[in-house]
Structure 1
């Protein structure tokens, strides 16, 4: 098999993407550490739970939404439990499953932290883009994610660490 090396244009685009994504993640992490004493992943867990019905998701569904391994999620949720921002309960419908539930303390922390987080995202990313570029960024990222997850015409890769279907119900 012959290697299809990146063209000079692809190489520049790839390196620009890597630099931008690492710098953006660093800016967001620094802001969240300063304001809330937590990394971006922990904030993402709280935010995802805040958007879910009843502020609750099965751990497997939460891992899939965040695109992280279940073991990494378990570690993060354990830490958030110690901080009182998330609690875990067994799932009534499936005794093997467990639910992550956003607590009132977690909601309050999000309400305090969200304005600074949004300002950091806006200042670090969106203030540097035109309205058209924002649309292009969404289109590009959606297509790449769709291709990597196997959504659409392609079947889902079995090796995705968060891949396991289950109900998102918390009742």
Structure 2
């Protein structure tokens, strides 16, 4: 017979953890499924294309794309290969560092991400924004930021500069 040790979490804390865990395990897959159905892209692919589109020349070193997409270089490389095959991205060797490569958004890639953006905004509204009362959104944003590892929170702050100026 196994004896369970008592939890060190209160009932409310355990409920909080369970809801957080449920969000982590269900929301990403639901987002991917919905985005793929509307645009043909999964969330990771959209993030890559959108990241490239945010660059003035549509070009970024693969290591920087991986960092922005919170991805390993291996996963990114596989996805970039698919996006290349679809004509949405091109790879370019770095002239001053032979170990580095650039990802370049093609005209077709820019067109696809522009077309997908409206659907992506709809999904963001359905999945999160419309479910949170407007008066709580600022607090929740601060709470989500506080939950992030420090380096990620700093990266978000620099990425969010366009929204907070």
TM range (shorter): 0.7 to 0.9
Tell me the C-alpha RMSD between the 2 structures: 2.0
Asked if 2 retains the 8 angstrom alpha-carbon contact of 1:84 and 1:103, the reply is yes
Q: How does 1:19-168 map to 2 (within 5 A)?
A: 19-147=22-150, 149=151
Asked if 1 retains the 8 angstrom alpha-carbon contact of 2:31 and 2:43, the reply is yes
Provide, for residues 45-96 of structure 1, a one-character-per-residue CA deviation record: whole Å limited to 9, x for no partner.
1111111231111111111111111101111111110011011101123221
* Counterparts of 2:54 and 2:152, CA distance in 1: 25
* Counterparts of 2:21 and 2:13, CA distance in 1: 12
Provide, for residues 99-151 of structure 1, a one-character-per-residue CA deviation record: whole Å limited to 9, x for no partner.
1111111111111111111111102211011223221222122222243x387
Larger radius of gyration: 2
The TM-score with structure 2 as length reference comes to 0.80
* Counterparts of 1:29 and 1:36, CA distance in 2: 10
Asked if 1 retains the 8 angstrom alpha-carbon contact of 2:60 and 2:102, the reply is yes
* Counterparts of 2:92 and 2:104, CA distance in 1: 8
Asked if 1 retains the 8 angstrom alpha-carbon contact of 2:52 and 2:60, the reply is yes
Asked if 2 retains the 8 angstrom alpha-carbon contact of 1:27 and 1:120, the reply is no
What secondary structure, in the 3-state scheme, does the structure 1 residue paired with 2:148 have?
A: helix
- Going from structure 1 to structure 2, the CA distance change for 1:58 and 1:5 (only over 3 Å counts) comes to farther
* Counterparts of 1:131 and 1:21, CA distance in 2: 23
Asked if 2 retains the 8 angstrom alpha-carbon contact of 1:88 and 1:98, the reply is yes
* Counterparts of 1:21 and 1:120, CA distance in 2: 17
Q: Which runs of 5+ in 2 are unaligned?
A: 1-6, 155-165
